[in-house]
Amino acid sequence: MTGHGGFMPNGLSNVLLGITVVIFSFMGTEIVAIAAGESSEPAKAVRIATNSVIWRILIFFIGSIAIVVTLLPWNSANILKSPFVAVLEHVGIPAAAQIMNFIVLTAVLSCLNSGLYTNSRMLYGMAKAGDAPKVFLKVNKNGVPIYAVLFGTIFSYIGVIFDYISPDKVFLFLVNASGGIALLVYLVIAFSHLRIRRRVEKTKPEALKVKMWLFPYLTYLTMVGIIAILVAMAFIDSLRPQLLLTLLIAVLVVGSFFLVRNKKGNQMIVETIEKIKP
């Protein structure tokens, strides 16, 4: 922690670079609210699930990385191979590589499972609101939106193909690009939480069953942190294309919203005119 140049031997820019690369790993934590919402006691389930996710991140993400940076110097050749394997070998645990391969495979399968679940439920919700094809409303006898699950599975196979065709370019680009999108998505979530909670507190305060801590200060802190990272990306050459691509996608998504809204509005006007015709 003090040798080899200290904790940040190459400055803060590399820390920001690391954040944008790994932020995609944190995407999906909001799945606990979606899953808990389908339980018999949503308010209680969301509270328990959210708290458990926070502690799991602190222990398994922050805790494991803290062990790695404490035991291995930043310029160690073992980091390029596998930092976790290197730590296990350092403390004398046999078959370290095999153990980590099993852990990583389990984690990846769990990530795939949760991704397919979230994607299918979001497609189902969008189809219900008229923002996606009605075919995604089809559910099986267990209430699972089967076509939405299959649609997400197709893109999973496409991701695997990218990994085989170009593991060092296309697939890595997709992983890195998702970091900027994740930051933008979480910024929108924080802003939405700020607006909606204040509105609910004024109109229907009894509806707030689950409240975030230190509101609104923690929300403001989150927004400032995300904006700071996005601004820093503009000044880092390797991250600037990701930022520009993220902003382009944001413009297209927002533009499509207004386009669809105007189209729906015009359709409603036509339907209303047809109804009042003599």
Q: What pLDDT is attached to residue 177?
A: 66
Identify which of 118, 148, 113 has the alpha carbon closest to the alpha carbon of residue 32: 118
pTM exceeds cut of 0.85: no
Q: How many CB atoms lie within 10 A of CB 216?
A: 14
**Angle made by CA atoms 235, 237, 16, in degrees to the nearest 5:** 65
Find the mean pLDDT for residues 17-41: 71
pLDDT of 265 over the 60 cut: no
CA distances from 43 to 33, 134, 226, 274 (A): 9, 29, 28, 44
Identify which of 102, 104, 74, 79 has the alpha carbon closest to the alpha carbon of residue 89: 79
Q: How far apart are CA 136 and CA 143, in angstroms?
A: 12
pLDDT in tens, 74-85: 777 667 667 777
Q: Which residue did the predictor score with more confidence, 100 or 222?
A: 222
What's the CA dihedral at 256, 262, 265, 269 to 10 degrees?
-140
Q: What pLDDT is attached to residue 150?
A: 93
Find the mean pLDDT for residues 216-237: 86
Q: What pLDDT is attached to residue 272?
A: 46
Buried b (16+ CB within 10 A) or exposed e, 181-191: bbbbbbbeebe
**Angle made by CA atoms 34, 35, 38, in degrees to the nearest 5:** 95
pLDDT of 271 over the 70 cut: no
pLDDT range class, residue 273, cuts 50, 70, 90: very low
Instruction: Read off the tokens for 130.
Output: 């008229």
Q: How far apart are CA 81 and CA 143, in angstroms?
A: 44
Q: What pLDDT is attached to residue 267?
A: 55
pLDDT range class, residue 269, cuts 50, 70, 90: very low
pLDDT in tens, 36-58: 766 777 777 777 877 888 888 88
User: Average pLDDT over the chain, rounded to whole?
Assistant: 79
Q: How far apart are CA 184 and CA 265, in angstroms?
A: 28
pLDDT in tens, 183-221: 888 888 899 999 988 888 888 887 777 788 888 899 999
pLDDT in tens, 62-119: 888 888 888 878 777 667 667 777 777 777 777 777 887 888 888 888 888 888 888 8
Least confident of 48-52, 175-179, 238-242: 175-179
Identify which of 188, 122, 183, 129 has the alpha carbon closest to the alpha carbon of residue 149: 122
8 A C-beta contact, residue 145 and residue 138: yes
Buried b (16+ CB within 10 A) or exposed e, 124-135: bbebeeeebeee
Query: What letter would DSSP give residue 236?
Result: S
Length of the chain counted residue by residue? 278
